[in-house]
């Protein structure tokens, strides 16, 4: 079968393309944003990429078109699908019907940490001899690929609350029907499709309704929004997690930056995680992954051993270069809370060393100006924060300055690089934070630093 995918370079759709290829299908796809690492992964899998959306991309008459949720009516390729009467489906529905059916699904949901936690859980199973299938919204360095079909009865999936397609406005995760569901956290996000937090809570409640009574839901004890979701109705056992608390599963920090902690189950010591990651958010992620892995038959001690060898997903505080006394990081930042927790973990790791955060507010929610105050305050652990304001932003980012005094606004990438070169003699840590390509600044900055 020839499957053509619209929006193929998105993290979810790109993973779906890899799995379709592993099932033996001919796969092609189009996208308007073709850039690494997803484009590289797809090309390595022998998948034909077409840049831009055009009706003639469909001239090969594919048997099925899978349409990503970034596509809407008016898009020329979408219009051609409808006008030609081609068979089409959403990505989550195709995955549910052709991959997840009959498997024990372990789903990771939440506003933050989905990708990292999915990567952790997949790695724990892999390390312990379980070749589970997985679909991760990024490329975990332990695997080098964001998705695979697997040859076990388990499938680990990043379960996003974003909608499925222009013709299916249900959250993606409603399609997955997990037996084990991790609910990492819940905050307001995706302002382009959800009018308020209550609308997101309702979708999470729909997810909870799909988890069987013999399954398991894993949730942090202290998240009030998730507690409200569970109070709407829950028919499944819930395992609660905490840090230095009293939940059934508890992590006791041995180092303040989260790089070392003990794991307890009902007050019984299960072992010590000693790893390269930092931040309380990653401690919660690890704790949830350990609990979920137990549902697949992996004992906590074995999961802890695996985490010591875990390599994070690309673009999650990934060190991309060390030049002229400066360490450059690539971090996939999409929400103020993610920015704050990431910078807090780095600050606790590096002490008084200089930190500069360079942020492209690219997510729909941040571009709409919903998080103005929280975005400014999320940067408090940085000595300097440089925010990129492209022409099409739609609101004046200088409004951020009323909430913080460490912020500079730059309207060009050249301006950002000039500012960073001026800061280079002082050394430190430059954290590039974006959920997109950031105009290719990663390589441009490295080139400029090497020329100093």
| Angle between helical axes of 280-295 and 114-127 (0-180°, round to 10) | 50
Q: What is the pLDDT of residue 363?
A: 62
Query: What pLDDT does residue 228 have?
Result: 97
Domain boundaries in the chain?
A: 2-90, 102-307, 318-450
Domain 102-307 falls in which CATH fold?
Answer: 3.40.1190
Q: What global pTM score does this model have?
A: 0.83
| Euclidean distance between CA atoms 270 and 272, whole angstroms | 7
307: which 2 tokens?
A: 């985490």
Residue 371's pLDDT is 67
The pLDDT assigned to 234 comes to 97
Strand order in the sheet with 154-158: 147-148, 133-135, 154-158, 104-109, 180-183, 216-220, 238-243, 249-253, 260-265, 268-274
Q: Which pLDDT score, from 0 to 100, does residue 312 have?
A: 82
Distance of CA 259 to the CA centre of its chain: 21
| Domain spanning 318-450, CATH class | alpha beta
- Determine the pLDDT at residue 367: 56
* Number of Cβ within a 10 Å radius of residue 305: 16
State the 10-residue block means of pLDDT for the chain, 452 residues long.
Answer: 95 93 96 78 88 96 96 97 98 97 96 92 98 92 91 95 94 97 88 84 97 98 96 98 97 95 97 93 96 98 97 84 95 83 90 94 61 86 92 77 90 94 95 87 94 87
What is the rounded distance in angstroms from the CA atom of residue 20 to the CA atom of residue 450? 41
Model pLDDT for residues 165-186, shown as the tens digit of each residue: 999 999 999 999 999 999 999 9
> What is the rounded CA–CA span in Å between residue 46 and residue 7?
17
Q: What is the pLDDT of residue 403?
A: 86
Domain range 2-90, CATH class: alpha beta
- Would you state the pLDDT for residue 368? 54
């Amino acid at each position: 079968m020839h499957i053509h995918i619209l929006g193929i370079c998105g993290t979810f759709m790109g993973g779906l393309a890899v799995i379709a290829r592993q099932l033996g299908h001919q796969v092609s796809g189009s996208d308007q944003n073709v850039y690494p690492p997803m484009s590289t992964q797809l090309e390595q899998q022998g998948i034909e990429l077409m840049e831009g959306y055009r009706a003639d991309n469909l001239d090969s008459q594919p048997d099925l078109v899978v349409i990503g949720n970034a596509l809407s009516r008016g898009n020329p390729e979408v219009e051609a699908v409808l006008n030609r009467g081609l068979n089409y489906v959403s990505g989550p529905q195709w995955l549910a019907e052709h991959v997840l059916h009959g498997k024990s699904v372990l789903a990771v949901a939440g506003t933050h940490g989905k990708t990292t936690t999915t990567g952790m859980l997949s790695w724990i199973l892999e390390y312990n001899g379980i070749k589970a299938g997985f679909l991760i919204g990024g490329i975990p360095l332990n695997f080098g690929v964001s998705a695979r079909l697997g040859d076990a009865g388990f499938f680990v999936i990043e379960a996003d609350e974003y909608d499925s397609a222009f013709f299916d406005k249900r959250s993606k995760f409603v399609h997955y029907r997990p037996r084990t569901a991790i609910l990492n956290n819940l905050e307001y996000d995706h302002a382009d499709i959800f009018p308020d937090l209550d609308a997101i809570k309702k979708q999470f409640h729909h997810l909870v309704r799909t988890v069987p009574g013999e399954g398991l839901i894993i949730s942090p004890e202290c998240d009030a929004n998730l507690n409200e979701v569970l109070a709407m109705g829950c028919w499944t056992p819930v395992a609660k997690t905490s840090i230095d608390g009293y939940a059934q599963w508890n992590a006791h920090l041995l180092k303040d930056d989260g790089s070392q902690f003990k794991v307890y189950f009902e007050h019984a010591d299960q072992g010590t995680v000693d790893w390269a990651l930092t931040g309380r958010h990653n401690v919660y992620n690890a704790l949830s992954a350990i609990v979920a892995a137990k549902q697949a038959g992996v004992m906590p001690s074995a999961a802890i051993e695996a985490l010591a060898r875990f390599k994070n997903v690309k673009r999650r505080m990934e060190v991309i270069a060390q030049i002229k006394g400066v360490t450059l990081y690539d971090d996939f930042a999409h929400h103020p809370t993610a920015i704050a927790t990431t910078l807090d973990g780095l600050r606790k790791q590096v002490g008084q060393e200089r930190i500069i955060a360079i942020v492209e507010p690219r997510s729909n929610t941040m571009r709409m100006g919903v998080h103005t105050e929280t975005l400014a305050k999320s940067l408090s652990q940085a000595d300097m924060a440089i925010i990129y304001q492209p022409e099409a932003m739609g609101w004046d980012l200088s409004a951020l300055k009323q909430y913080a005094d460490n912020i500079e606004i730059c309207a060009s990438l050249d301006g950002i690089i000039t500012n960073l070169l001026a800061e280079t003699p002082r050394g430190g840590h430059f954290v590039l934070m974006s959920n997109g390509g950031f105009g290719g600044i990663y390589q441009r900055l490295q080139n400029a630093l090497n020329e100093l």
